[in-house]
Amino acid sequence: MGLKQHNNLSIVCSLDGLPSNWRLGVEATVREISPLFDLYVTTVKAGARKSPEGVLISIAREGAEAAWTERVEKVLIERILARLAELRDQSRLAEVARLQLEVGWDASGSSKISVRDDLNSLTERERTELIASRRSLAAELRVVFQEAELAPQAASFCGTALAQMEHPERWALWVRLLLQVSETEAVLRPEVQRKMMELA
């Protein structure tokens, strides 16, 4: 082994939606990959960078200077971005699960829902306000799905769902479907999902 080496890795990426302990995940990823390239990492510290937004990683190691190559940097960046995406997904799912519990939403399917949404128990004013709120949210969902660049099949499904949601008696059913299809659920922010659950 050579003398102790110091390397820095800078990755431009969004930090939005990451859990508070994301740095530990990044540091663990560097340590996991280290033996593959004889880097012999002794310490690694990850931090946030503001401009441009991203991750800055400081690595101290005992491997040879030549062990740090462009290929090593490329692999590290790919694995770290993959780990961040995984952490972001986990954080989103945890937040959604918390919201579901908070609003009493049963996502397991054990609580059955009718094909028709019965609004007859509402007063005329309540019904009018609910339908107006649903239409407003549907317009917001349309923008979200358009900006998400969904695959053709998912985009087609969203179009069908939004068309069906124009009918008040079908709203709740199609909201549940949108939240249970992985491609559409994944692009909906927790706060949007909360609105959907509260209006269904």
Cβ atoms of 199 and 134 within 8 Å: the answer is yes
- Report CA-CA distances (Å) from 176 to 77, 84, 101, 104, 181: 37, 28, 15, 14, 9
Walk along the chain (200 residues) and give the pLDDT tens digit of each residue. 446 899 999 999 999 889 999 999 999 999 999 999 999 999 999 999 988 999 999 999 998 889 999 999 999 999 999 999 989 888 877 777 777 676 666 655 544 555 556 677 778 888 889 889 999 999 999 999 999 888 888 888 999 999 988 888 888 888 888 888 888 888 888 888 888 888 87
Q: What predicted TM-score, i.e. pTM, was given to this entire model?
A: 0.60
